[in-house]
Structure 1
Amino acid sequence: MKPLLPLTLLALLSACSNAGNQEASTGPQFNEARYRNDIKVLASDEFEGRAPTTKGEKLTLDYLVTAFKAMGLKGANQGSFLQSVPMVTYSASENQSVSLAGLQASYRQDIVLGSRHDNGGVDIKDAPLVFVGYGVKAPEYNWDDYAGLDMKGKIAVILVNDPGFAAPDSGKFNGKAMTYYGRWSYKFEEASRQGALGAIIIHDTEPASYPWSVVENSWTGPQQDLVLSKAERDARVQVEGWMTLDFANKLFTQQGQDLTALMQQAAKAPTQVALAGKANIQFANEASYSDSYNLVATLPGTDAAKEHILFTAHWDHIGKDETKEGDQIYNGALDNASGTAAIVEIARQFAREAAMGHKLRRSLTFVATTGEEQGLLGSRYYAANPLFPLKDTIAVLNMDSTNVYGRTKDFTIVGKGQSQLESYLIEAATRQGRKAVGDRNPASGGFFRSDHFSFAKYGVPAVFAGGGDEPVDQATSDYKEQMKLKMKGCYHNVCDHYREDWDLSGALEDMAVFYGTAKALADSSDRPGYLKGSEFHSLRPAS
């Protein structure tokens, strides 16, 4: 059965003609049934988990292009809705021979390794192993785990997160709230800058904020990346990946080291320990090249049309794993069919208002990005190759995994305290009678884990927000606990599929906050900036 296509603009006008004039003053009139249908279609088995460069991508883009065309939005890339994102797909063999200090590591069970090189495979023999604590070089914190080390030909063994997590009262870094130094992407980048041959992160569930199953599901199978220059490829570590904490303990014990004690030491001061054993790693690795696509649709403004407010949501997920028995499809309903469907429904509302004469001064641009699950690839590419100048990009509103647990008394802003843009969300949430709060688990580094971060690195005020921790009433609280049990372990797993019993009332309220934020900012001349204390303040300071 073919999925239902989005409604045409004519049908939208007919259905909502009587409400059009009052919507401008009373707020958005989102259609929950249509929003549900978009999630259901995007997360259906037919779309095969929406992996970039697959059949699922084509189905997804066709669906979204049809939706935005029906609204009357314009393709932002010289009339096209698609922005090509050159990608390379690396496929590491699961038949890996991995010996660390004489200990044989089993693929998936103990270790997951890959390589971002197009050289046929990895053949590392007798490479020294060096424990480098958190693998951080941060001059502003007077911290350098690599000080005095020559990492050429060596493999760095690295702790996940940053020293502030393990020692929140030390005044180091940002306490429990993860800095970018705690992200896996930074650790591989820094090991590469240090000239290391390889980098392996020790997984630990609490500081990582996700279990080993997420690593196993996300880091096995084909891995996409942006096509790099030869210089960038040559500088990259030859092998990168993760090992379990259990295997790391065995490795350090075998080397006469106490990993627990070293972890405590590494939180207090930069730590380096050369292990006596060597690494021997062999596996085949293939590379193939193809383009994936961001979808970029614009609703032009009036007298300030050159200035844009962006809505972002990643359309991609993990795809399918044919080596699995039973269910093989990572449908990605919550992550992130829900966010993609949300920006589509928000776009419909603004398009309907514009068609009725309620046009905004600034333009609204909706970007459905590719490759977020592989390292924010689509947003990174757009930020480096913007279709509209970043200096004219006023703000980015990112939706990733919307609230399916019902209405809340609070509204969560991930990484709260970064920029003036947050004040617009706070005002919109306050009008709903909700209190804006920071994320409950800042140690997870949520601010660095979704597409808005790609824009923040260039100084564009960007937010990732939604949901809350306080259900609006007892019935909602009971429902939330039951639904959380149903969805336990479904993050980046095959059970993240659409559920008819989801309570989407909270998601609709969050969408209204984003709508109100964009509407207020689009009709103003304000240019929000980053606050003092933010690592992005120097790029676009708050006025």
Structure 2
Amino acid sequence: MRHFLLLASLLSASAAAAKDAPAVPVQTLKDVTQTLSSDAYEGRKPTTPAEDKTVAYIVERFKAAGLKPGKDGWFQPVPLVEITAQNVSPLSFTGGKAPVSMAYRSDMVVWTFRVTPKIAVKDSDVVFVGYGINAPERGWNDYAGLDVKGKTVVILVNDPDWQSPERTGLFEGKAMTYYGRWTYKYEEAARQGAAAAIIVHDTEPAAYGWGVVQSSNAGPKLELDEKGDHADQSAAAGWMQLAKAKELFASAGQDFDALSAAAKQKGFKAVPLGVKASVSFDNTIKRQASKNVIGILPGSAAPNDYVLYTAHWDHLGHCDAVKGDGICNGARDNATGVAGLVALAEMYGKAGPAKRTTVFMAVTAEESGLLGSRYYAEHPVYPLGQTVGGVNMDVLDVSGKTKDFVVTGAGKSELEDLIKPLAAAQGRVIEPEPNPERGSYYRSDHFSFAKLGVPMLDGGAGEDLVIGGEAAGHAATLDYIANRYHKPQDEYDPKWNWDGAVQDLSLYYQLGRQLGDSGAWPNWYKTAEFRAVRDASRAEAK
């Protein structure tokens, strides 16, 4: 009954929101995206001079839209430490049939989470730990009976059943779980005491090419500046090229393909390779706060309840040059998302405030591991127990209208019930992710809030284009990932078709308004892993 009443209340608010919804300001989308992705903003790298220019521009646009500063002002300081690896030695392996040497950037990338001026891993025993997963609730432990303290672990990317054509199985088949994400694999290796954790890059299960790995990791790395200087992390973390991994295994007298196949089976036992790894590098360390940008439209009736819109403002800054261009401008990723945030603020400004307070937040350091949103979630300006839910925007569609709307990580929260009738009113259908193996649910800022209980929608245009169909839509997705994503080629294009973004922003507006104008509190489904923490936070708020 509660679920039915929730839907009835929100659908009533939805009808009112749809009727009174202002038009999406397309020119704002174009202007903000073009400005933030211009070379003048140098790729919007946090803690660089480009940050000051970026956040000042966002505040300027928020003010013009009629927003007020957050409780503590326009900015929430996010303490970061920048660690830049220098003088990186080759990653070398000895003790096998022949020594194997991997050159920095071309064959491997390596860095540290530790805040220390020098890293040296010397003659560390190497162990292949399969997918590097310890999931007791699934009866799976690649570290069972294994002591890897001081050792180097080599890990496969994604989940054991990533090649399954279905979405069922121990690790949900082709739909990546958090166990498949590189972030988890380093976290678990550190918990196990590994001195170094190296993931084998394979384009299909990783969902991006080596160029993305290189541009994202072969430069300054940002981490939250916390007590202990991350001394509990492995000394070295990194990736190696697939071909070099095969060379390493052959030198160790092992068949990489055979061991990779064995690692997919429950009960797999880690395999010591009988070789030793060495790598060293220096670090330059810079401690400097970055900023989340927060603007609000105070609620007219329930100002202490909050509806949240988020988008990350940062990108990679200066990166490895391609055809002479060394700025990763991040036009779609995620100047478009910030443009959507500003456009929604303008729409709310025209329509007037909702009953609940609406929070518009442009977060920092998403590209460095969701650091800005994680910091806010762990140090909220507005209590998470009083945060109703919201929408995260990361890369808007610029390929045209679609017949479908895709919810990332579907099957988790009641927000999905609310978006379905809104999409249907546009003549669109809700479809499952066409590429769930990419693990998109764990790769953007909504995940920081979800882990602490706040239901956040992350979804957008699918691949079934009104003009061109699924073939054209899928081709556009593949082109973006292969040729633009995290590369200098992610630049503003005046020929983009914003019709799909307008569709999506209309949905985001209507969802936010119905959350803001009702008294309902959408929750996670009972089967979702975030339900318990949400129930606890709501109980505390009451």
* Structure 1 and Structure 2 fold alike (TM over 0.5): yes
Give the drift of 1:24. Answer: 7.0
Tell me the equivalent position of 2:40.
46
Question: Is 1:453 the equivalent of 2:453?
Answer: no
1:325–1:293: structure 2 CA closer, same or farther, 3 Å change rule?
same
Counterparts of 1:217 and 1:451, CA distance in 2: 20
Counterparts of 1:59 and 1:400, CA distance in 2: 21
Tell me the equivalent position of 2:10.
none
Give the drift of 1:105. Answer: 0.5
Give the drift of 1:431. Answer: 1.2
Counterparts of 2:113 and 2:480, CA distance in 1: 36
Tell me the equivalent position of 2:520.
526
Tell me the equivalent position of 2:93.
100
> Does the 8 Å CA contact 1:116/1:236 hold for their aligned counterparts?
yes
Find 2:463's aligned residue among 469, 489, 505: 469
Tell me the equivalent position of 2:144.
147
Deviations 1:79-121 (A, max 9, x none): x110000000010115423202331101111100001223222
Find 1:400's aligned residue among 391, 394, 405: 394
Question: Is 1:110 the equivalent of 2:107?
Answer: yes
Tell me the equivalent position of 2:9.
none
Tell me the equivalent position of 2:349.
351
Counterparts of 1:157 and 1:485, CA distance in 2: 30
1:271–1:417: structure 2 CA closer, same or farther, 3 Å change rule?
same
1:308–1:62: structure 2 CA closer, same or farther, 3 Å change rule?
same
Counterparts of 2:507 and 2:389, CA distance in 1: 15
Find 1:414's aligned residue among 402, 408, 417: 408
> Does the 8 Å CA contact 2:200/2:240 hold for their aligned counterparts?
yes
Counterparts of 2:528 and 2:105, CA distance in 1: 38
1:438–1:239: structure 2 CA closer, same or farther, 3 Å change rule?
same
Give the drift of 1:538. Answer: 2.3
> Does the 8 Å CA contact 1:23/1:29 hold for their aligned counterparts?
no
Tell me the equivalent position of 1:336.
334
Tell me the equivalent position of 2:296.
298
Tell me the equivalent position of 1:316.
314
Counterparts of 2:320 and 2:170, CA distance in 1: 45
Deviations 1:36-79 (A, max 9, x none): 0110000000000000011211111110101111222111142x
Deviations 1:483-516 (A, max 9, x none): 9758841100000000000000100110001001
Counterparts of 1:345 and 1:242, CA distance in 2: 39
- Considering only aligned residues, what root-mean-square deviation do their CA atoms show, in Å? 2.1
1:94–1:497: structure 2 CA closer, same or farther, 3 Å change rule?
farther
1:467–1:265: structure 2 CA closer, same or farther, 3 Å change rule?
same
Counterparts of 1:225 and 1:330, CA distance in 2: 20
Tell me the equivalent position of 1:264.
261
Bigger shift: 253-262 or 475-484? 475-484
> Does the 8 Å CA contact 1:161/1:181 hold for their aligned counterparts?
yes
1:486–1:534: structure 2 CA closer, same or farther, 3 Å change rule?
closer
Residue 399 of structure 2: SS of its match in structure 1?
coil
Bigger relative contact order, structure 1 or 2, given CA contacts below 8 A and separation 6+? 2
> Does the 8 Å CA contact 2:390/2:512 hold for their aligned counterparts?
no
> Does the 8 Å CA contact 1:394/1:460 hold for their aligned counterparts?
yes
Question: Is 1:56 the equivalent of 2:50?
Answer: yes
Give the drift of 1:481. Answer: 5.1
Bigger shift: 485-494 or 201-210? 485-494
Residue type of the partner of 2:138? Y
Counterparts of 1:383 and 1:417, CA distance in 2: 22
Residue type of the partner of 1:48? E
Residue 92 of structure 2: SS of its match in structure 1?
strand
> Does the 8 Å CA contact 2:150/2:194 hold for their aligned counterparts?
yes
Counterparts of 1:533 and 1:31, CA distance in 2: 38
Question: Is 1:171 the equivalent of 2:169?
Answer: yes
Question: Is 1:157 the equivalent of 2:154?
Answer: yes
Bigger shift: 437-446 or 487-496? 487-496
Give the drift of 1:323. Answer: 6.8
Please report the TM-score for the alignment, with normalisation by the length of structure 2: 0.91
Find 1:123's aligned residue among 120, 123, 133: 120
Bigger shift: 339-348 or 423-432? 423-432
1:35–1:303: structure 2 CA closer, same or farther, 3 Å change rule?
same
1:486–1:368: structure 2 CA closer, same or farther, 3 Å change rule?
closer
Counterparts of 1:84 and 1:425, CA distance in 2: 33
- The total of aligned residue pairs comes to 516
Deviations 1:395-438 (A, max 9, x none): 13000000011000111111111100112222211111111112
Question: Is 1:442 the equivalent of 2:440?
Answer: no
Find 1:255's aligned residue among 252, 256, 260: 252
Q: How does 1:65-80 map to 2 (within 5 A)?
A: 65-78=59-72, 80=73
Counterparts of 1:44 and 1:487, CA distance in 2: 20
Give the drift of 1:165. Answer: 1.0
Counterparts of 1:484 and 1:409, CA distance in 2: 19
Tell me the equivalent position of 1:83.
76
Find 1:194's aligned residue among 184, 192, 203: 192
Q: Which runs of 5+ in 2 are unaligned?
A: 1-15
Give the drift of 1:210. Answer: 0.6
> Does the 8 Å CA contact 2:321/2:327 hold for their aligned counterparts?
no
Tell me the equivalent position of 1:428.
422
Counterparts of 1:23 and 1:524, CA distance in 2: 11
Tell me the equivalent position of 1:208.
206
Counterparts of 2:445 and 2:183, CA distance in 1: 14
Counterparts of 2:48 and 2:450, CA distance in 1: 29
Residue type of the partner of 1:264? A
1:479–1:176: structure 2 CA closer, same or farther, 3 Å change rule?
closer
Bigger shift: 94-103 or 409-418? 94-103
Give the drift of 1:350. Answer: 0.4
Residue 267 of structure 1: SS of its match in structure 2?
coil
1:429–1:94: structure 2 CA closer, same or farther, 3 Å change rule?
farther
